[in-house]
Amino acid sequence: MVSGTIDIKNLRNITRLRFEVPDRGVWLLTAANGCGKTSLLGCLHRIGHSNAFGVHFPSSLQSNQLDNHAKGSISYEINGETVEYAYRGERWTPRPRKNSRLLDKFGYSSVLYIGVTAERITPRPEDFNTHNLRKADADVVSSANYIFETMKFSSLRTINLSRGVGNDAFVLSLGGAPATYHSEKHFSLGELCILKLLRLLKDAGNNSMIIIDELEMALHPRAQVNLLKHLERISKDKSLTIIFSTHSATLLKTINKKNIIYLDRQESGDVVPVVGCFPTYAIGSIAADEESLPDIVLYVEDTFAREVLQAFYEKFAEEKFKDPTTRPTIKIVPIGPFDAVIAFLDRNHSVLPSQVLQRAVLDYDVKDESIKTLQKSKSYAKLAQMEKNSKDISYLPFTPEVGLADYIVDNTTAFESSIRARCGDNQIRISPLTSDYDCTVSGADRRKSAKAFVEKLEKYLSNRLQKESDSVVEHICGVFANIGWPTYRRDFMELFGSVCR
């Protein structure tokens, strides 16, 4: 595939959206309502279909005051070459015209679009001839059975009702003598949509782009997960680029976060794609049911920061709340880089009820280095956002990996003894690993060295204990909090005391 970008300007609710078309694989595209998701899908569809703009951006021929796209433009850029489409009169036309075939250079064998539709093909009695019935494609049958966790589709058949145009209708054999069948009108909407998608995937050539628009809406969460796994398999087998538009929290929490693309609408009207964000950033809320909401939500930069903060919170709670009934429920949510944490906190104030206290807890290096970098680069918008939310921002007394690495190097024997006791393995040896940590450097170099050391420690313990990484990190952070509590007690009593009032 050739890497390319789409630049959308002044179209519907979009002031500007610059989107880099992703490589092969399954990508979940999500956004709040009105952020340009549907418009972007139409622009992606245009890569393979010359009539896509007319379908996705219909204009009124009776009035230039209704559905008028005259101010909008959509540009495609590939390897430095550009073609711009704008609505001029009655249709979308390219400039320069000599680049009208530029979209072919994306290299997709086909670009296929499918959305939720309840349209059903029901055979008329005079059309229905059992001699024309065929077994449905084996891959379609097995995939449908897998997604819906059933065997009912083993009896799936197809019948061509319009010779020569491939207008296949699905029917389900019910057996009997003579045999009877259910037509498409007896399929649920979810079943029908999935069968159509599976047929489309079967016919798609290698290196195709598949655009799926909110097809999961009619599916149970378990079927959604099974569908995602199936899409990941077939995208790998056929080198497909699958862009799946969705609002499903289930899907967003299931896929690798690197494959999440969130369209973040700015106050200016610009829409910025955030690629690889945490699911919580994309979902925009912590729980659908207010009764299950925590009392306190703390937003942090990554999963390691979450584990460290959780471990020290347990030490704080043991000391602070002698009566368990007075202990608030707390949820610690990883978001991403510190500026993403602040942006998320800023917008999420209006999402959760006012009784849920929300705070950002940032790594120490943000306070020590990053703010100075913003000031030096004159990033006034980000500085203003931090100032606006300053009363709801706290800082860890260290950058998590650096704090842990420094403590282990200074207290190797105590840490080794504690981790042995916690894991029940007296042959664990931490000291040989500490030589890889360079504590003589500072700033980004120190953070990089500390992160490499922590990753090596995780891998060593994971192999040694035959446990998953998440469990190992919990042990590491638990030991750090237990033996490091006297050193950091004052910092964390102040940090948690400000939110647990």
- What DSSP letter does each residue of 405-472 carry, written as one string? HHHHHHTHHHHHHHHHHHHT-TT---HHHHTT--TT--HHHHHHHHHHHHHHHHHHHHHHHT--HHHH
Residue, of 160 and 258, whose pLDDT is higher:
258
Closest-CA residue to 186 (of 160, 156, 162, 212): 156
One domain for residues 102 and 220: yes
11 with 82, same domain: the answer is yes
Q: Does residue 288 sit in the same domain as residue 389?
A: yes
Q: Are residues 13 and 83 in the same domain?
A: yes
DSSP 295: S
> What's the pLDDT score for residue 284?
62
Whether residue 432 lies inside any domain: the answer is yes
Please check whether residues 137 and 153 belong to one and the same domain.
yes
- Measured between alpha carbons, how far is 391 from 387 in angstroms, rounded to an integer? 8
**477 has a pLDDT exceeding 50:** yes
474: helix, coil or strand? Answer: helix
358 and 295 part of one domain: yes
**33-59 per-position pLDDT tens digit:** 778 888 999 999 999 998 888 888 875
Structural domain contains residue 200: no
Q: Which residue has the higher pLDDT, 325 or 107?
A: 107
For residues 158 and 141, membership in a common domain is answered with: yes
Query: What is the domain extent for residue 386?
Result: 284-395
CB half-sphere exposure, 295, CA atoms < 13 A: 10
* 416 and 366 inside one domain: no
- 452 within some domain: yes
pLDDT given for residue 90 in this prediction: 67
Q: Could you say which of 395, 420, 440 is where a domain stops?
A: 395
Q: How far apart are CA 120 and CA 193, in angstroms?
A: 10
Instruction: Confirm whether 194 is domain-assigned.
Output: no
Q: Is residue 431 part of a domain?
A: yes
Which of 395, 420, 437 is the last residue before a domain boundary? 395
pLDDT confidence of 173, banded at 50, 70, 90?
confident
In a domain, 195, yes or no: no
Buried b (16+ CB within 10 A) or exposed e, 409-427: bebeeebbbbbbeebeeee
The per-residue pLDDT for range 178-230, each reduced to its tens digit, is 778 787 778 888 888 899 999 999 999 999 999 999 888 778 889 999 999 99
**Domain tally for the chain?**
4
Q: What is the pLDDT of residues 421-448, one digit of tens each?
A: 999 999 999 999 998 899 899 999 999 9
Structure tokens at 329: 């429920």
Mean pLDDT of 291-314: 87
Q: Token match 């509590």: residue?
A: 485
Question: Is the confidence at residue 239, as pLDDT, over 90?
Answer: yes
DSSP 183-213: -GGGS-HHHHHHHHHHHHHHHPPTT-EEEEE
Residue ending a domain, choose from 375, 395, 415: 395
Q: Could you tell me if 214 and 72 lie in one domain?
A: yes
Percent of the chain with pLDDT over 70: 89
> CA-based Rg of the chain, rounded to a whole angstrom?
28
Looking at residue 155, its amino acid is S
Instruction: Indicate yes or no: pTM above 0.75.
Output: no
Higher pLDDT, residue 460 or 216: 460
Residue 192 within any structural domain of the chain: no
> Is residue 36 situated within a structural domain?
yes
